[in-house]
Chain A
Amino acid sequence: MTPEQIFFFIFGAFTIAMALGVVLAKNPVYSAFSLILCFFGLSALYVMWGATFIAMIQILVYTGAIVVLFVFVVMLLDLGRGVSAHSHSWMTVLFSALGVWFFSVLLLRTFHHSPATINAGGFGVDQIKTISNLLFNEYLWPFEVLSLFLLALIIAIYALTRPEPSETTPNREGRGA
């Protein structure tokens, strides 16, 4: 095995182990920190493919903004006391696992039958220049639509989370549904 393959294996195993930690951790704070480490492993994989710009974006946006938002909400909600026992039946777990397994096998067959043509064109050195040329010429219209989408998102989040003026107690209806 070349050193590149060894590093690839290490980073891939690290990413998958951290993803397992996200799924299996009982405390949401541990899940969030496993998610941070999983994104760092993914960023290392992007670097090994040569996509350095996306690796930087991954660390800046995902671990800098998204997971921090998760940690912020988890700590805001104070969920430590309400960790309940997982009470799903074994039927749910069994059939979920079966469905996921079938889907994974389907994906695996699909990717192995895809044509593996390697052009090796390479746009390594001036990657940001290539990406921004493409983004602001050919993909300009989706980019502008995305900016409108973000504006609508800001308005929607304000409408969702603004404090109600008449609301005084946090639990209006109690715990039962």
Chain B
Amino acid sequence: MKYAFFLGCLIPARELNYEVSIRKVLPTFGVNLVEMKDANCCAPFSIQSLDYASWMALAARNLCIAEEMGLDILTLCNDCYESLLMVNTLLKEKKDLRDKVNETLSKVGKEFKGKTDVKHLVDVLHDDVGVKKVKNAIKAPFDGLRVGAQPGCHLTKPKRIHFEIIRGYRALDELVEATGAESVQFERREMCCGGPLRDIDDDLARQVSRQKLITLKNADVQSIVTICPFCYLQLDTGQLEVKRHFNEEYNLPVIHFIELLKMAIGMKLEDWEIKSHRIPIDNIIKGRV
């Protein structure tokens, strides 16, 4: 299984623990990550908000790079996923948009042909690798660990570019449960982490995150599992901000799904990886270091 590996901006800037685990774990499942040379930022919703035409052209440039490689794209971030998948879908469907974008892309010698597909880490692990293979690789299961798996917004929404919301949630739950942990359902699971409001209204962003933390705490989870670097940032670092502003302590450790899987297949997290979590993850790594 070979993919054009789309790393995005946030992960290399802030979450090297995510990147390291991806690069170590995925090859053990036969997933070959091929670097996308000179890929630009996916062009997230902030750029879409500024100017639709710029958003489409920049996302399409990345799609063209994958087309030239002859590979489907693997993304690790819900925002990259939404942006690339949405533009890929729109440009495949609508000739007038495709023509317009291709006119812009001709300035840089590129043309969107519609020959690649965009996949999220969850799609690749669940559909291409398969839950059975993941299950078979588990050597140190997290038996009895109650986790709240935060799907984030764009793993499943909007449904015009996905099959159905429930499919994405089920895929995530099955992967989490393959590690032996229990994927606990919590209220308003579909709700956003608040991340997109960072840089726009930090106060409101914190209020949205707080709601998420409350529903997770009410569900009595021992840990939050994320599959999006924005959710991770907002719930981990953001939890400290919530603590400061609301004087409330949730103490919910946040861990990337791939880190959970890494430990479950018998690999260890290094000291710096453990320390990169702002909310200590001691209760998850107990007996594993």
Do A and B form a real pair?
A: no
Q: Residues of B with Cβ closer than 8 Å to A?
A: none
